[in-house]
């Protein structure tokens, strides 16, 4: 039964009933090692010897190294359960000079290194594949400067996104990046993977918002391009070498970020729609009617919401629909912004674009609605093994890809569903199965990547290539681009010690 949406938009309280669990980050059952699971060959690196460990002990002290492969699950296994390495050493620098000393030593001694942030990568970008030394950035988490007039914020790469956002909020600013993993992910990892997230539609991407970085090359040389201006054209824009190269060209140690003013008013709408066609029409309308206030347009299909209901006991506040849209606006005038949103919803309802919805400008309710979208990743962890994909797809093909995969998988899959950042053409396609098998993997890959190529999509929208997608790079990239990537890798890291087996086909 469709409950007609109240035109006057009695800003509702249904959402309050939603029940929230705390986040759970415990590691799951025993996983097989990546090298066995993915049949990958170890590079020609030296194995760790006692004198190497002694060097790191001398450099960092006893408390900032962790040894013994059996104690390091938290660092060896990725959060989603896709990959598992067998590193027996984690090192935790606190300063750029320490990062430099570590890399310089590893480079000279041909020890492979896996830089690690919050370990929330969806493509196993931040865990070792074999016995790489894990360079954990978790202790480099100082915030150095927040300038509330210019909006320039300078901090260490190991800062957790949510912590940084809390700190800048106190000064009236907002971090122009927001994603589900914010409680764990680190900014250094966000930059290294060029994370996109929920509010890219409003604030743009990290290549645009990062003012400067300090990074350490494989040989330990510190590259200081920690510039602090929006406009700064003094030579090549080197920082972009480190943004999105997933730690394979250097380790980011410090960041200068442009943070916009914290919006004074927020509005959110959670809408039910009957078809993807209506989703697209509503999006177009939102883009033109809500204009500069639009800060997020997220889509979820029915299955995505059912999953969070089943696994996390979250509840849709409006009952069941084939599609849901979350539309958020952020502005500087509470009254105008609410009026704008209400008018947009009123017309959308009148024009039969949407079937039902709730809207709110209350922070607690806004948070509740966002949890339905943001905790999808967490729910996935409780649904057997899930093949997670992250595509950029021309909008007209956005959902046909999900339908195609449903047909393709038939009874072999448990669920096939899609959600994502519609405003950025970014689809998260999910295929969950009872158990990971080679047969199912071969059924899905490279089939799904080839389909994406056929519709001129991108096989990695915001997650990066990491370990899981590296071998499919040539499906997406032109040969000339891959060739130039190899040239850069070779010149920046001739021994290949930085995050091997990631990004570039191994």
Q: Which two tokens stand for residue 274?
A: 């009957």
Report in angstroms how near the CB of residue 124 gets to a second copy at its nearest: 14
Which residues within the stretch 33-92 sit at the binding site for a second copy (CB under 8 A)? none
Report in angstroms how near the CB of residue 88 gets to a second copy at its nearest: 30
Residue 243 as a binder of a second copy (CB under 8 A): the answer is yes
Which residues within the stretch 262-281 sit at the binding site for a second copy (CB under 8 A)? 263-264
User: What character string, x for contact with a second copy (CB under 8 A) and - otherwise, covers 149-168?
Assistant: xx------------------
Please give the DSSP secondary-structure letter assigned to residue 6: P
Radius of gyration of the chain (CA): 23
Burial annotation 415-445 (CB, 10 A radius, 16+ → b, else e): bbbbbbbbbbbbbbbbbbbeebeeebeebbb
Identify which range of 40-48, 91-99, 108-116, 287-295 contacts a second copy by CB under 8 A: 287-295
One residue of 43, 172, 183, 322 binding a second copy per CB under 8 A: 172
Residue 181 as a binder of a second copy (CB under 8 A): the answer is no
One residue of 44, 288, 319, 363 binding a second copy per CB under 8 A: 288
Residue with Cβ nearer a second copy (231 or 438): 231
One residue of 71, 169, 332, 437 binding a second copy per CB under 8 A: 332
Residue with Cβ nearer a second copy (73 or 292): 292
Q: Strands 265-273 and 210-216: what pairing? A: unpaired
Cα torsion at 258, 262, 265, 267 (round to 10°)? 50
Residue 244 as a binder of a second copy (CB under 8 A): the answer is yes
Residue 446 as a binder of a second copy (CB under 8 A): the answer is no
Residue 26: half-sphere exposure toward Cβ, Cα within 13 Å: 6
Report in angstroms how near the CB of residue 417 gets to a second copy at its nearest: 20
Report in angstroms how near the CB of residue 176 gets to a second copy at its nearest: 10
Residue 193 as a binder of a second copy (CB under 8 A): the answer is yes
Residue 424 as a binder of a second copy (CB under 8 A): the answer is yes
Query: Cβ distance 461 to 391 under 8 Å?
Result: yes
Residue 240 as a binder of a second copy (CB under 8 A): the answer is yes
| Phi, psi (deg, nearest 5) at residue 357 | 180, 165
Residue 465 as a binder of a second copy (CB under 8 A): the answer is yes
Residue with Cβ nearer a second copy (188 or 244): 244
Residue with Cβ nearer a second copy (130 or 203): 203
One residue of 183, 204, 384, 446 binding a second copy per CB under 8 A: 204
What is the spatial distance between Cα 369 and Cα 5, in angstroms, rounded to a whole number? 17
Q: Strands 356-360 and 294-301: what pairing? A: unpaired
DSSP characters over 166-205: HHHHTTTB--S---GGGGT-BHHHHHHTT---SSHHHH--
Residue with Cβ nearer a second copy (87 or 348): 348
Residue with Cβ nearer a second copy (54 or 400): 400
DSSP characters over 74-138: HHHB-TTSS-B----EEE--SSHHHHHHHHHHHHHTT--EEEESSS--SS--SS-SSSPEEEE-T
Q: Which two tokens stand for residue 473?
A: 């790079």
Which residues within the stretch 103-142 sit at the binding site for a second copy (CB under 8 A)? none
Q: Closest by alpha carbon to 118, among 170, 157, 73?
A: 157
Residue 458 as a binder of a second copy (CB under 8 A): the answer is yes
One residue of 15, 133, 179, 241 binding a second copy per CB under 8 A: 241
Residue with Cβ nearer a second copy (87 or 426): 426
Residue 261 as a binder of a second copy (CB under 8 A): the answer is yes
What is the spatial distance between Cα 252 and Cα 103, in angstroms, rounded to a whole number? 12
Which residues within the stretch 385-404 sit at the binding site for a second copy (CB under 8 A)? 392, 394-395
Cβ-Cβ contacts under 8 Å for 113 (sequence gap 6 or more): 102, 103, 106, 132, 133, 134, 135, 497, 498, 499
Q: Closest by alpha carbon to 120, among 159, 93, 86, 80?
A: 80
């Amino acid at each position: 039964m469709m409950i007609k949406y109240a035109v006057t938009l009695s800003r509702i309280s249904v959402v309050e009933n939603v029940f929230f669990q705390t986040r759970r980050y415990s590691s799951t059952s025993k996983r097989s090692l990546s090298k066995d699971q993915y049949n990958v060959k170890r590079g020609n690196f030296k194995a760790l010897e006692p004198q190497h460990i002694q060097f790191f002990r001398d450099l960092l002290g006893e408390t900032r190294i962790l040894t013994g492969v059996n104690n390091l699950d938290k660092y060896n296994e990725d959060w989603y359960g896709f990959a598992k390495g067998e590193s027996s050493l984690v090192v935790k620098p606190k300063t750029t000079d320490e990062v430099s000393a570590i890399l310089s030593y590893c480079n000279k001694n041909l020890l492979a290194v896996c830089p690690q942030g919050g370990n929330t990568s969806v493509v196993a970008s931040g865990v070792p594949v074999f016995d790489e030394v894990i360079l954990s950035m978790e202790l480099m988490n100082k915030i150095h400067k927040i300038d509330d007039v210019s909006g320039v914020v300078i901090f260490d790469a190991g800062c957790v996104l949510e912590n940084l956002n809390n700190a800048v909020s106190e000064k009236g600013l907002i971090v122009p990046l927001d994603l589900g993993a914010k409680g764990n992910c680190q900014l250094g990892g966000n930059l290294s993977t060029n994370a996109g997230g929920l509010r890219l539609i409003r604030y743009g991407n990290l290549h645009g918002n990062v003012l400067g970085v300090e990074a350490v090359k494989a040989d330990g040389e510190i590259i200081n391009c920690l510039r602090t201006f929006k406009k700064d054209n003094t030579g090549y824009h080197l920082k972009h070498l480190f943004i999105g190269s997933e730690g394979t060209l250097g380790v980011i140690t410090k960041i200068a970020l442009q943070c916009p003013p914290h919006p004074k008013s927020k509005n959110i709408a959670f809408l039910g729609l009957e078809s993807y066609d209506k989703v697209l029409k509503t999006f177009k309308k939102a883009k033109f009617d809500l204009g500069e206030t639009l800060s997020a347009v997220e889509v979820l299909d029915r299955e995505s919401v059912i999953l969070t209901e089943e696994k996390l006991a979250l509840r849709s506040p409006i009952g069941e629909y084939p599609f849901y849209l979350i539309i958020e606006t952020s502005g500087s005038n509470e009254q105008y912004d609410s009026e704008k949103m209400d008018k947009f919803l009123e017309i959308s309802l009148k024009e039969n674009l949407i079937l039902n919805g709730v809207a709110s400008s209350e922070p607690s309710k806004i948070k509740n609605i966002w949890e339905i979208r943001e905790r999808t990743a967490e729910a996935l962890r409780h649904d057997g093994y899930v093949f997670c994909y992250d595509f950029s797809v021309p909008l007209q093909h956005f959902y046909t890809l999900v339908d195609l995969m449903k047909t393709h998988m038939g009874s072999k899959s448990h669920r096939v569903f899609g959600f994502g950042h519609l405003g950025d053409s970014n689809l998260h396609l999910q295929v969950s199965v009872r158990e990971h098998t080679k047969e199912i993997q071969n059924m899905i890959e490279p089939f799904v990547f080839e389909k994406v190529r056929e519709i001129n999509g991108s096989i990695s929208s915001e997650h990066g290539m990491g370990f899981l997608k590296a071998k499919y790079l040539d499906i997406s990239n032109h040969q000339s681009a891959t060739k130039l990537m190899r040239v850069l890798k070779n010149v920046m890291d001739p021994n290949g010690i930085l995050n091997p087996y990631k990004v570039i086909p191994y």
